[in-house]
Amino acid sequence: MAGSDTTAQASADRPAPDTVKILIAGGFGVGKTTMVGSVSEIVPLRTEEPLTMAGLDVDDLEGVEEKRATTVALDFGRITVSDDLVLYLFGTPGQQRFWFMWNDLALGALGAVVLVDVRRPKSSFAAIDFFERRGIPFVIAVNGFHGEHPYPVEDIREALTLPEGVPVLLCDARERESSRDVLIALIDRLISQAEPAG
């Protein structure tokens, strides 16, 4: 019993970790739910619903014809980076009819990951514009579907007309380590922007 009391006291004396809200954004079917699920240390909250015939006229399934479900509100996950830093991950819905929720999801967010599918790069333009307009720092994560990355980073940067300071990373949203590396790159960017220029 004394050992558990000591452990409890040590936990009580340790300051609570800093928490950082991160958005995982991008177009319809780019892998946002997959990324949150691959890296979250808790069972992620998902608000997926089956695609229905009623949505065929409003949801563009070009390039993702095999998709059977979609996020209708958000995905939520958590990852502990260190004893003093915890990330809360919020995946945004991808369809245009749900974009009105992005403003609420962005409240309090310190940064974002914009997932890109190089088969459909235009589907990521709205997310890039959203974060640029709001001054929210972001990184680009190019999701390699089937593990493939057919284009070099500089070609992707040019196609997306990104400023030089925005990191572009190749990833596989299905893999925990790959998704974690993307989040670390975003945290590095947030830290470098927060440091005073010397």
Q: What percent of the chain has pLDDT over 90?
A: 46
User: How far apart are the C-alpha atoms of 121 and 155, rounded to whole Å?
Assistant: 12
Q: What is the pLDDT of residues 9-26, one digit of tens each?
A: 555 567 777 899 999 999
State the Cα–Cα distance between residues 51 and 105, nearest whole angstrom.
23
Q: Residue 179 pLDDT > 90, yes or no? A: yes
**pLDDT tens, 138-163?**
999 999 877 788 889 999 999 999 98
3-state secondary structure of 172: coil
